[in-house]
Structure formats: structure tokens, C-alpha cells
Amino acid sequence: MQWGQPEMLHSLWLLIPVGLALLGLARRRERQLQRVMQADVLADTLPPRRTCIQRWRMICILLALALGAIALARPQWGETYLDVQHMGLDILVVLDTSSSMLAEDVRPNRLERSKLALRELVGNLRGDRIGLMPFAGQSYLYCPLTSDYSAFLMMLDDVYAGIIPRGGTAIEQALRRAIDSFDDHLLADRVILLITDGEDHEGNPMRLLEEMRRRNIRLFALGVGTPDGDLIPITDEQGRRTFLRDRDGNIVRTRLQEEVLERLAPQTGGMYVRAQPGDFGLDYLFEQGIAPLQRDLLDTEQIRMYEDRFAWFLGAAFILLLLDSVLAVWMQPPRVRWPGAAKVALLLLGLTLGTNVDAADPRRLMREGREAHDRGDHAAAAELFLQAAELASEHGLDPARAWFNRGNSLQQLGALEDAMFAYERAGLSTDPAVQEAARFNEGTLLLDAAEELGMQQQFDQALPLATNAVSRFQQTLTLNPANHDAKVNLEMANRLRQFIEEQMPPPPPETGEGPDDEPLDDGEDESDPPPEPPSPDDEGDDTEDSGQPDADPAPPHDDSATEDPRQADVTPDMDELDFDPASDSMDEMTQEEALMLLDWLRDEEQETRDQMRMQLGEPAEVEKDW
């Protein structure tokens, strides 16, 4: 037998003063009775053997207290094995360990400050796997992806500038090796966290953009250093502190080079942040960029659990207290004995009925939430769905459907960030239908937000949202390749992303200011321009559905139903969509025409959404959970 909280056993020592106090009170009561009554009168008034009954009452109370203290210590015996599922995403840290990371423009130096920030980041992880890949002129996987954070931190402490024998900085080679380290079979988002000062002496990281998009890998870059730069301290052979010099004997000044990082990271669905003296920026990257990403089942392990048996001791204590009540009634004169017995019986009846009333039933909360949603009280519905989701696991139910319905109510309230969080929780369900509906609605919210920012000409913020929307619709089609609405919305998101990329200003020419920098080859920077969005004349090609499917799987698409003329050209096969990349040229479109096109696309989307909106299903009809 084991104890869950063995320190609570020390409370048994309290039984000694409690027993002495009960004994003293009983003797005092006996002396007071003898003072007011003669012995023969006292024997006729009180029932016989009352002294013996009082002794048994005292024993019952002390034993009940002892059993309660033992129950608080949580006695455990018997073993059971529990399957624990680890939900998370993969984060591979690509850490620059070149000599330039010894510069002290970030205290104590760039590398040590990065390691301190990574230790804080690990403290925020919950089930995510993290790996480490140091790089300089070469790179290698120093710590494979793992959920053993202690092992990661131990290996992080061993990283130092010069751990890579070959000097220099090869960002492209490090990113390529990081891409090859991921497993393509997981649906979870994959993250490369690049921490560097941006000095790149060989290669062109922009050549990896298409591969990272295709494999759904997001790059989050943290630029360490300052644009003014600093000298690189080293220790010479005599042990004196000096500064790094180039081949000509000139002292090298290393500066933060962030042009490539600013261009590459947002186009993969990630973001770039420059480290500041008061705010290193890694916490912001995690909270705003990495934390909201999709998580998937990484692995499952069995853990041994000891079964708690405190209920047996609590039950025995309750029986002893009940026996004490019965003895207290038995000590009373006959005229008051039966009313006392009736009170005890009523108390037992009330306890029995009270245990059968479940004040917090998640099914009831779900039903009330649906009723509130149907009558338009979305705030009350969202709160009821939240309560149902929190109580579902305790009743052996799947909370995903409650989270999904909460997301629908929050979307009606305009709380889009909270709705996204609810849909992400719903996407963790083991039911593919719930996952599909959650991913679809996430993509719809992201697409709406990207269009809104595009109308405001905030293209740098709209691009990652459009990229995320494409990813969500692709995940929806992975779960259900026959989802016609997801195909339509995926095409719309792709066109919007291509349109935003066309409207973004061209990047400034890249110049290398670091030691031994080589100019980037602009000829290999980008692939051919993406297809242009269609003009308003191609009305039959633009269709989008942003409906809200309920947690219950929607019925299959019925082609025989009345069709919207704007959907007539959309076929189930994405390869057959009527879209000519060379049909319209954005080079011939003015800014005013581009804004008119975005406005027209938004009107088309709203009309299509109103016609294809899917109503909330009834969760109670699903027999296997709700």
C-alpha cells in the first residue's frame, strides 16, 4: 500500500488531545448530574447502561476522526495502466553559434542571451517536442525532437561558440537540414525557430521558400544584435582579451543583417522579430505566433497509476458517525427517543437524495447552450458551452463538440481570437468529423481577417493570415478529400494570397556588411510570379463558402439541389478549376482597380456565405459521446 499524501498521517497525533478533552467533558457532565440529582432518581430518569453508551460514543467519534485523517493521506493499492496522449507540435531551434554571436551589443553576449531566452521558452511548453540544431559554416542535429525538456536544457547548456568546427555562417544549409529533420506524416504544424544575427556567408535561404510552403513548415526568425553592430571579443594565445581581425589585419565589426529574415519568415506563415535590450522578443514570438498553431497527437505512452482507496475509509467514518447519532438517540428518555430517531432517518434520506442530484450535468449545459444560441443570446450560449466543455471529461464525454459550439457562438459575438482558440480545442478531438469542421471554420475566420486587412492595404499583416487560411483548408481536405466547400475556399484563399504578394512592395536590394559576406544571388531569389487574381468579369470563377458547420457532420453535398450561378464553374477536382494564370496581368491594374476588385470579391463572398451557411447540428443525437 502507498500513500498519496503521507504527511497528512501526522494529523493522527491530534487524536490524543481530542480524546482527553472528550473524556474530561464526560466526567464533568457526570459530576454535575450527581450534584442536582440523587443516585436513585438519576437511575430512574436516565436509561440504564448510559455510562457504557457514552464510552462507545466516544470510541465512535475518535475512530471516525482517525479514519478521516487516514483518508486525507490518500491510501492507494492496486495498479492500473493509463494511456496518456501527448498533443503538441514540433519546434526545431536552429541556433547560430558562429564567432559573431560573441558580440556584446546584447548582454552578456548574443549567444548566452539566446540560451537564457530558450530556457524561459521551454518553461512555457506543454507537450510540444523541441529539438536543437547549432550551426555555423556547417550544421548538425545536436538534440533530436523530444518532449524530455530536461535533456534539451542539458544539451543547450553544452552549446558554445565554436562547437561547429567550420567557421562562417551558412543559413541555407542549416535550414535545409532542419527541413529534412521533420516527419511529414503528422498533421501538426512544424516550426523552425531560427536565432541568428543574419550574417550569411554562403547560399541563398530564399531558395527554400517553396519547399517550406509545400511541407507546411513555418519559419519564425529572431534577429539578435543591433544594426550598428559591435566588435567580436576573443582571447589570443597569451590569454589576453582582444578582438577578431580579418585576413588583412582589420578589426571586424559584426552587424545585424535582417533583410533576408524579414522577407523569408512572413512568406512561410511565420514572423520575424528583432531582439531589443528590454525585450528579447522570444516570448512574443511564442505567444503571438507559435502558441496558436495546430497541434496533433505526437505519441502515446502508458503510465502506471495506483488506485485511490480513501473512499473506503470515508465510508467507514460516516458509518461510525451514524452509529454515534443512533447511540445519542438511544440515551434519551422514551418520550424523546422516537422523535430523535425520526430526525436521523430524515437526515439519511436527505443525504441519499442529495447524492443522486447531479447539479453540474454537461448534457444539460449543452442543451441549454443550444437553446440560448437559437434565441440569439450568444454570450450566454458561449458561457454554457464553456462549462459543458470543462465538465465533459469528468463524465467520460468528449469536450470537442462543446468547444466547437462555443466557437460558433463567439464568432457571432465578433470575438474572433477566442473563437479561434475554441476551434483549436475542438480540433484536438479524435472524431474526424469534428476535426474537419473545426479546421474549416478556422480557415474561414483567417480568410475573413486577411480580406479585411487587404481592403485596408495592410498587406504585410494580411499575407500570413492568408497563408494560414490555405493551410487550414488543406488540412480539412486531408481529413475529407470530398469536402466541396473546402476546395472552393482553398482556391479563394490561394488567389487572395497571390493577389497580396503582387501588391506588396519589392524587397530592397541585399548587401552584405559582415565579414566575408558574399552578395546574394537575386536571380535565384524567387520563382516565377504567382498567378494573378481574376478580374470582376470572371464572375463564374470566384466562389467562397464561409459557413459554420456544426460539430455533427454535415450531410454530403447534393449536386442536384438548386445551385448558385456563381458556383456553376466549380468542380470537385481542384485541377479542373477554370482559372487561367495568364488571364489578367496585375502590371496593368492600377491601385484603385485593385481595391475595387477586393471590394467585389468581398461582396461575392458574403452573398455565397449567406446562401451556404450551415446550421448547428444537435450534439445530443451523437450516441458515442454527447
240 and 332 inside one domain: no
Whether residue 520 is predicted with pLDDT greater than 50 in this model: the reply is no
Whether residue 357 is predicted with pLDDT greater than 60 in this model: the reply is no
Confidence band of 86 (pLDDT split at 50, 70, 90): low
Q: Which residue has the higher pLDDT, 128 or 505?
A: 128
594 and 546 inside one domain: yes
Q: Would residue 480 count as lying in a domain?
A: yes
Selection from 254, 250, 230, 232 nearest residue 242 by Cα: 232
Whether residue 532 is predicted with pLDDT greater than 70 in this model: the reply is no
For β-strands 129-135 and 90-96, DSSP reports them as parallel
479 and 590 inside one domain: yes
Distance in angstroms (rounded) separating the CA atoms of residues 465 and 493: 10
Q: Would residue 366 count as lying in a domain?
A: no
440 and 579 inside one domain: yes
Cβ(452)–Cβ(416) below 8 Å = no
The enclosing domain of 175 has a CATH number of 3.40.50.410
206 and 255 inside one domain: yes
Selection from 169, 228, 219, 231 nearest residue 194 by Cα: 219
* Structural domain boundaries, residue 568: 431-506+529-621
139 and 206 inside one domain: yes
Q: Which three cell numbers stand for residue 369?
A: 447552450
Q: Would residue 474 count as lying in a domain?
A: yes
Backbone torsions φ then ψ of 13, nearest 5 degrees? -65, -20
The total number of structural domains that make up the chain: 3
Q: pLDDT digits over 60-72, tens only?
A: 888 999 998 898 8
144 and 203 inside one domain: yes
Q: Would residue 210 count as lying in a domain?
A: yes
Q: pLDDT digits over 547-574, tens only?
A: 444 444 333 333 333 333 323 332 233 2
Cβ(458)–Cβ(484) below 8 Å = no
Tell which of 322, 337, 354 closes a domain.
354
- DSSP reduced 3-state for 230: strand
> Can you give the pLDDT at residue 579?
30
CB atoms within 10 A of CB 626: 22
50 and 108 inside one domain: no
Q: Would residue 586 count as lying in a domain?
A: yes
581 and 501 inside one domain: yes
Distance in angstroms (rounded) separating the CA atoms of residues 349 and 343: 10
Whether residue 273 is predicted with pLDDT greater than 90 in this model: the reply is yes
- DSSP reduced 3-state for 218: strand
- DSSP reduced 3-state for 302: strand
133 and 209 inside one domain: yes
Q: Would residue 106 count as lying in a domain?
A: yes
DSSP summary character for residue 356: T
Tell which of 294, 327, 343 closes a domain.
294
Mean pLDDT of 356-369: 71
Cβ(534)–Cβ(542) below 8 Å = yes
Distance in angstroms (rounded) separating the CA atoms of residues 388 and 368: 10
Tell which of 316, 337, 354 closes a domain.
354
Mean pLDDT of 403-422: 87
Whether residue 124 is predicted with pLDDT greater than 50 in this model: the reply is yes
Using CB atoms within 10 Å of the CB of residue 10, give its burial: 0 to 12 exposed, 13 to 18 middle, 19+ buried.
exposed
344 and 487 inside one domain: no
Distance in angstroms (rounded) separating the CA atoms of residues 284 and 124: 12
Q: Would residue 85 count as lying in a domain?
A: no
Backbone torsions φ then ψ of 271, nearest 5 degrees? -155, 165
How far is the CA of 144 from the CAs of 52, 141, 156, 315, in angstroms?
A: 73, 6, 12, 51
Q: Would residue 610 count as lying in a domain?
A: yes
Distance in angstroms (rounded) separating the CA atoms of residues 360 and 141: 50
Q: Please give the span between the terminal C-alpha atoms of the chain, in angstroms, as a whole number.
A: 37
Cβ(345)–Cβ(322) below 8 Å = no
452 and 585 inside one domain: yes
Return the residue matching grid coordinates 422516537: 338
Q: Sign of the C-alpha dihedral, residues 222, 224, 225, 230? A: negative
